[in-house]
Amino acid sequence: MTTQSVEVAAEAGDASALLTEDALGFVRMLHERFEPRRQALLAARVERRKRLRNGEPLTFPEQTAEIRAGDWKVPPAPADLADRRVEITGPVDRKMMINAFNSGAKVFMADFEDATSPSWENIVSGHQNVIDAVEGTISFETPEKEYKLADEIATMLIRPRGWHLPEPHVLIDGEPVSGSLFDFGLFVFHNAQKLLDRGSGPYFYLPKLESRHEARLWNEVFVAAQDELGIPRGSIRASVLIETLLAAFEMDEILYELGEHATALNAGRWDYIFSALKCFGDRPEAVMPDRSQVTMTVPFMRAYTELLVKTCHRRGAHAIGGMAAFIPTRKDPEVNKVAIEQVRADKTREANDGFDGSWVAHPDLVPTVLEVFDGVLGDRPNQLDRQRDDVEVSESALVDFAVPGGTITEQGLRNNISVGIQYIASWLTGRGAAAINNLMEDAATAEIARSQVWQWIHHGSSLDDGRQVTADLVRELERETLEELRGVYGEAYESARLDEAAELFEGVALSEELVEFLTLPALERLG
């Protein structure tokens, strides 16, 4: 299919109402205006990582000191984003979207990024599902049950793919379009005016920003899109996931660059750990213990979340807490009890720190988190008036990677290998949100898993029993893991693509240099 030099290089089923000539022309306009800048910023990322590997320190930028010192604020949130005490996230799968809308959460983030495996089928159907949700017609039927929207539903935010990801199935002048621009462009073209007509608007969660320059690019995309569509500037509102270590040093600047479009920052905890490993994985002082020991209370995580709340409230923006990924199970009430109490403690800490809301991955966690934030907020929609003037976070605190009492264990290594392989296999077979060991895992999980294995090998780290982590040990545990999984999956083992996932995991975990994103080589294997 070719429209105005935009080639859709794959079958799109019955997508004629989605991939119209005008819609693809709008995407082409965004591509022509902003693709060169996107490529320049991606190149700047690579150069900065090289400087960090060579010992360049991370600091608050001197050239933006006036922005940090200035007395400015972002615009007030729209009415349907004023109360964000519980947010639920998930892929753009039809059934899961309906359950998320109906969960009782205030906000639902429909995720085209880490929780969606970006097969062409998933992307096309996901955008159609979003259109149906905006129009209020989304439904899903099984032989046992019919799923449809309740009378009161969550406000939807869209998370487009990050700047680094292409959409290989849509070519403009022979080059793949940016996944970010494609997801953003289709959504606003088809839905922005409909949302505005009903008193809402096109709202976004922006992933994996590394600098104010990347936020500035998004702002320019927003302005161009609003002008092209004839909707008022400021109609688009953006929340930003602070899920890279680099962005933590530019939180003020990111809000400032988004200007009239800014509304919130979110503490994206799993990707943040991955980013720290990616930025400082070469440095011995940044070697981390088992992932389960890198909690929100370790020094560098605590510093970043406190700075996030202080920054947001000083600027009039919402501060949204991190993910509670636990999936309740009907099989083991005791597991549920312990896990939900851990979730309650985590969310109580966030609410007491000043966060205005927090994330969950499963509808059954909504009541627990709602209860926690109700206890702090009461009838108030948020706690933006709570200024954290008591917080002072230094540059060194943001990179204090010490984990008191932290250890690297065989179980932690095995878990990284097993979860990494299982998640990659899930992703390759089209499922970007995978339930593994009672946790809802997304791409950030596999990124941490393979990065930790790489780091431990790179530094010759030792397990708590004295054995050194080597490539041979990883391969041995990988073989054992695959045998265990063969027993679990039985006849479905081959179709689950576990051997292929293990090959991919090994390729990035044992590589000479840490690969930037696992999803880039994995994308070559996806339909």
Beta bridge partners of 140: 147
Catalytic residue check, 159 = yes
- Cα separation of 410 and 463, whole Å? 6
Tokens encoding 24: 């693809």
Q: Give the burial string for 290-311 (b: 16+ CB within 10 Å, else e).
A: bbebbebebbbbbbbbbbbbbb
For 167-193, what is the HEC assignment? EEEEEECCEEEEHHHHHHHHHHHHHHH
Which of 49, 159, 161, 212 is flagged as catalytic?
A: 159
Quick check: 405 and 290 in contact, CB under 8 A?
Answer: no
Which of 84, 442, 450, 497 is flagged as catalytic?
A: 442
Quick check: 106 and 379 in contact, CB under 8 A?
Answer: no
Quick check: 129 and 183 in contact, CB under 8 A?
Answer: no
- Cα separation of 382 and 368, whole Å? 17
Q: Which residue type sits at 319?
A: A
DSSP for 296-346 reads TTSHHHHHHHHHHHHHHHHHT-EEEEEEE-B---SS-HHHHHHHHHHHHHH
HSE-CB for 525 with a 13 A CA cutoff: 18
The set of catalytic residues is: 159, 442
